[in-house]
Amino acid sequence: MQVVSEKSSAANDWRRIVIKVGTSTIVDASGEIKYPVINRLSQTLTQLQKSGYDIILVTSGAIGVALQQMKMVKRPTDIPAQQALAAIGQSYLMAIYNQSFAFYQQHVGQVLLTYDVFNNKQMLQHTIDAIEAMLAQHVIPIINENDVIAVDELDHQHSFGDNDRLAAIVTHETNADGLIVLSDIDALYTDNPYVNPTAKKIPLVTQVTPELMASASGSSDLGTGGMATKLYAAEYLISKQRQMILINGKNPATILDVVAGKKMGTLFKGV
Ligand SMILES: Nc1ncnc2c1ncn2[C@@H]1O[C@H](COP(=O)(O)OP(=O)(O)O)[C@@H](O)[C@H]1O
Ligand SMILES: N[C@@H](CCC(=O)OP(=O)(O)O)C(=O)O
């Protein structure tokens, strides 16, 4: 395992930043929508945008908020039911973001993507053009996977989409300096700390090794990706000479500390 603690450098020279928000940041364990967190996230991202940063938000949570809307306790296993929830929840999720950002006079734009976009030069260029046009007008693009139609690429038996990977690809394709992932956990640990209380925090990862992969198992109740998909995202970004920082999303204002160069969470950065 390649773990170094002293050389952690941070995001103080990043100018274009992708922020990925997991379901666990949007919805709590009892299924309630975390409006104050979303409000703080909107305030923080607006502050960064108005300070001259290019900000792109990749957000999960469509299915999470739909479960709450539809008074469902558990995520259904059959795919059309999940697709329906994604459709219901996505419009509500954007309504929440619109209202929340509007309070800070910040415009946002919705971008729903499927993975085939990245395999098609023309569609990819159109997507990048649209995102660049939004950024040029100081609009924050808000991206999610288009779960309603993304049925071909996904293993829908067990999981539904993976926004960690999507956020990593968006970071690379939009030429962003780095990706900040907000989760329900404050860092990568040597083992799942909810299962193994002796697990230790890992401040810097320079290489995603098989050993590290093996230490990442399980996800929060509503999250789909778990730590494994975050490690795949980090591995992809390291291979593209880009960086990723994993922090706890419970207080999104900590993004400001990260961008100011404070060492926190786990930094994934190749050597
Ligand atoms: N080695 C590890 N270090 C930290 N968290 C881990 C590890 N292995 C598994 N996990 C689990 O990954 C979860 C975060 O992933 P996930 O539930 O998908 O969150 P999100 O919805 O934010 O994407 C943590 O709550 C924890 O239970
Ligand atoms: N696209 C799905 C989320 C998929 C996903 O990757 O979720 P998470 O592991 O919480 O980031 C949704 O909006 O519900």
Q: Which of 219 and 123 is assigned the larger pLDDT?
A: 123
| pLDDT tops 90 at residue 251 | yes
The CB of 223 under 6 Å from ligand 2? The reply is yes
| Segment 151-179 mean pLDDT | 78
- Residue 49: CB partners within 8 Å, gap ≥ 6? 55, 106, 138, 140
4 pLDDT band, cuts 50/70/90, is: very low
| Segment 39-46 mean pLDDT | 98
3 forms bridges with which residues in the sheet?
205
Residue 20 annotated as part of some ligand binding site: yes
Closest C-alpha to ligand 1, atom 16: 226
| pLDDT tops 90 at residue 152 | no
Exposure string for 30-65, b = 16+ CB within 10 A, e = fewer:
ebebbeebbbbbbbbbbbbbeeebbbbbbbbbbbbb
221 pLDDT band, cuts 50/70/90, is: low
The pLDDT score that the predictor gives to residue 161 is 61
| Segment 85-99 mean pLDDT | 97
| Four-way CATH pick for 2-268: 3.20.20.10, 3.40.1160.10, 3.40.50.150, 2.60.120.460 | 3.40.1160.10
The pLDDT score that the predictor gives to residue 155 is 47
pTM of the complete model? 0.93
| Segment 228-234 mean pLDDT | 94
Q: Among 47-51, 72-76, 202-206, which is the least confidently predicted range? A: 72-76
Task: Give dist(CA 215, CA 205) in Å, integer.
Answer: 13
Q: For residue 229, which atom of ligand 1 is closest to its CA?
A: 18
- Rounded to two decimals, the ipTM of the complex is 0.96
Residue 42 annotated as part of some ligand binding site: no
218 pLDDT band, cuts 50/70/90, is: low
* CA 187 to ligand 1 centroid distance, Å: 9
Q: What is the pLDDT of residues 96-144, one digit of tens each?
A: 999 999 999 999 999 999 988 999 999 999 999 999 999 999 999 999 9
| pLDDT tops 70 at residue 156 | no
The CB of 266 under 6 Å from ligand 1? The reply is no
| Segment 207-222 mean pLDDT | 79
Task: Give dist(CA 84, CA 43) in Å, integer.
Answer: 30
The pLDDT score that the predictor gives to residue 215 is 86
Tokens matching residue 14? 């990043």
